Structure 1
Amino acid sequence: MRDRTVLAAASARGGLDGAEAVLELRALIDNGDLDACWAYCPEREHHRRHPTPGRHRYQLTD
């Protein structure tokens, strides 16, 4: 029942996108992955904003 209340409150404020974000955060917290995600996200954002020149030419290896 609490999940529906949280979902309804998030939907009222931010629509479906806000509700989905709340559920994703709750899943990260429940699974114990929030700290790892919190550490990873700024690094990923940095690479998105400042891509390595010529990265499209790199080959990924196994």
Structure 2
Amino acid sequence: MNTHHFYAQRDAIFALESFQPTEQTQKIDLAVLSGRVSNAQAIDEMRLYIEQHRSLVGFVETRTWTR
């Protein structure tokens, strides 16, 4: 299963429960799908950001690969 298919399946499952991807999730997914960042790198950077800031607020805005 390729990454694009995985994300589509994930979003479909969440939609069954009336959940929609956030703007942040969409930007990260697009960056991964376009090859600007690997999924593993995005996860590592997010984990480090949370440890430092105790929040995800501002995470996407500080990543060059989400622009």
TM-score w.r.t. the length of structure 1 is 0.40
Which protein, 1 or 2, shows the higher relative CO under an 8 Å CA cutoff with sep ≥ 6?
2
Name the structure with the higher helix share: 1
- Structure with higher Rg: it is 1
